[in-house]
Amino acid sequence: MQAQAAVEDEQLWLQANTNVPVAQDVRLTLEQIARFSDRQGGLFQSELGALLQYRATKRIELGFGYRYVGSHNRNSAANENRFRVQAVGSFGRVSTRLRVDARFNPRGDEIGFRIRPLVRYNHPLGREGVFLFGTHESFLIPNSTSWGQRSGYERMRNTVGLAFPIGKQVAADLGYLNEYRFGRGGARDQVNHALSLQLTVNLRPVHLRQRPDDSSTH
């Protein structure tokens, strides 16, 4: 039997992060996300959240955070509350992030967990703070729920782009993001082609670090 072609969609992903110093080696990141889709009639997902991060060592940063996720227009998913813990490692041009999400959905009592390993490579372009980057992130689902989460390898995201400073306290990541979602229960696979723009504002001047973005992406 001939396999069905994947469903494709063109999207725009926007994100703004604000880093607020709290104490030595501790910062609070405030996050705003808006995602737009051709197939889903415009804005289909918004996210508001905060992430408290502690620099445990020179290379390792630990974080705990919360996000409220809203669905809009043709997006039939329920609004969710999400908590997450993560560890970020910086190793020269390579950086990593391991995140675990806990999803609370009003359509069921079970908590849906997701494990999200991410790796990023940064290639300097000569000017300070400007570099090409590439990332890969996988979504591994350890448990199924009555409200729709299914265990297994759910999706992957691959991004290529350019990171650059905008003044001393603002940095930008601009790139192409490809999200491949594997179909479940007879549904077709879906490929999302997204233009991704992320702005990071530091409330005091800091050195730009080549690390994974603190969100990522949802």
Contacts of 58 by beta carbon, 8 Å cutoff, 6+ apart: none
Pair 159, 130: CB distance under 8 Å: no
Bridge partners (DSSP) of residue 115 are: 100, 140
Label the pairing between strands 152-165 and 7-23.
Answer: unpaired
Kindly report the CA angle at 194 between 28 and 62, in degrees rounded to 5?
A: 25
pLDDT score at 212: 64
> Coil, helix or strand for 8?
strand
- For the segment 143-189, what is each residue's pLDDT rounded down to a tens digit? 999 999 999 999 999 999 999 999 889 999 999 999 999 987 778 99
Q: What is the mean pLDDT of residues 9-34?
A: 97
Whether pLDDT at 206 is above 60? no
Contact predicate 98/86, CB 8 Å: yes
Angstrom distance (rounded) from CA 174 to CA 164: 9
What is the per-residue pLDDT across 27-67, written as a single tens digit (0 to 9) for each?
A: 999 999 999 999 999 999 999 999 999 999 999 999 999 99
Q: Which of 27, 21, 65 is nearest to 47 (CA)?
A: 65
Residue pLDDT, tens place only, 93-151: 999 999 999 999 999 999 999 999 999 999 999 888 899 999 999 999 999 999 999 99
Question: What pTM, to 2 d.p., does this model score?
Answer: 0.90
Q: 99 by DSSP, 3-state: which?
A: strand
